[in-house]
Amino acid sequence: MSNAHSVRSALPGHPAGSTDSTRALLALGVGGFAIGTGEFVIMGLLPEVAHDVGISIPAAGHFISAYALGVVVGAPLLALFGARWPRRALLVALMAFSAVANFATVLVPGYLAVGFMRFASGLPHGTYFGVAALVAAGIAPPNRRARAVGFVMLGLTTALLVGVPVAAWLGQYFGWRAAFVLVGIIAALAMVLIRYCVPDLPSDTNVHPLRELGALLRPQVWLTLAIAAIGFSGSFASLAISSQH
């Protein structure tokens, strides 16, 4: 019996091994919590970042764009390069990279260095959520896959409700870099939880990079991307503006 099957039987509504299932989904959710907190917290700390780095608040807003650029670049590239990796190993590597990038943000000086580290922090974002969703669906029975994926995405929602306010409070009272120390710690915790709580699912050996990129030829994909881009642009802009008042 495979690891996926043993954990699958433990999803809500499946009495056997419920602890294993809960731990696996919780570990994936903690990873989403770390990434979500790291993504959004800087929007509430733009005045502090601008003052420390010695730039204007609008210029500090470029750090938001740098992270977004990292997501755009990293999501397809890391997904393609890591397609043949065992999924748990890939998730551990992504969270380790996220932890290192956030800790490095604390240490680097200057506008360009901080901007580069924000770009690096965004690289694992899209790939993590994509792979984590696949893992969650893989350990769930067909009629509960959406629920399992939703449990993983709950980490991002919780980041907005809890993680971002707490990290922003730390950044305002102990310096903005303290917020990214917290994010790095959470990412490191998620890395450990995923390593020991998530089943070791095999990679898809039939994946081919060119076939995966073929999805970009479909107009529906670009329409979906445009809708998401417009929606998130408005959200990010409103959060960035409100942080200045």
From first to last of its 245 residues, the chain has per-residue pLDDT tens of 444 444 444 444 443 345 677 789 999 999 999 999 999 999 889 999 999 999 998 899 899 999 999 998 998 888 778 878 889 999 999 999 999 999 999 999 999 999 999 999 999 998 999 899 989 988 877 788 888 888 888 998 999 899 999 999 999 999 999 999 999 999 999 999 999 999 887 766 666 656 666 667 788 878 887 887 787 677 666 665 655 55
Q: Residue 211 has what pLDDT?
A: 65
Beta carbons of 43 and 240 less than 8 angstroms apart:
yes
Query: pTM for the whole thing?
Result: 0.82
Domains in the chain with CATH codes? 3-242 (1.20.1250.20)
- Side-chain half-sphere exposure of 116, counting CA atoms within 13 A: 8
| CA-to-CA separations, 233 to 64, 65, 214, in angstroms, rounded | 11, 10, 26
The amino acid present at 82, given as its one-letter code, is: G
| CA-to-CA separations, 165 to 8, 97, 99, 172, 192, in angstroms, rounded | 34, 24, 19, 10, 24
pLDDT (tens digit per residue) in 74-97: 988 887 788 788 899 999 999 999
Q: Residue 6 has what pLDDT?
A: 45
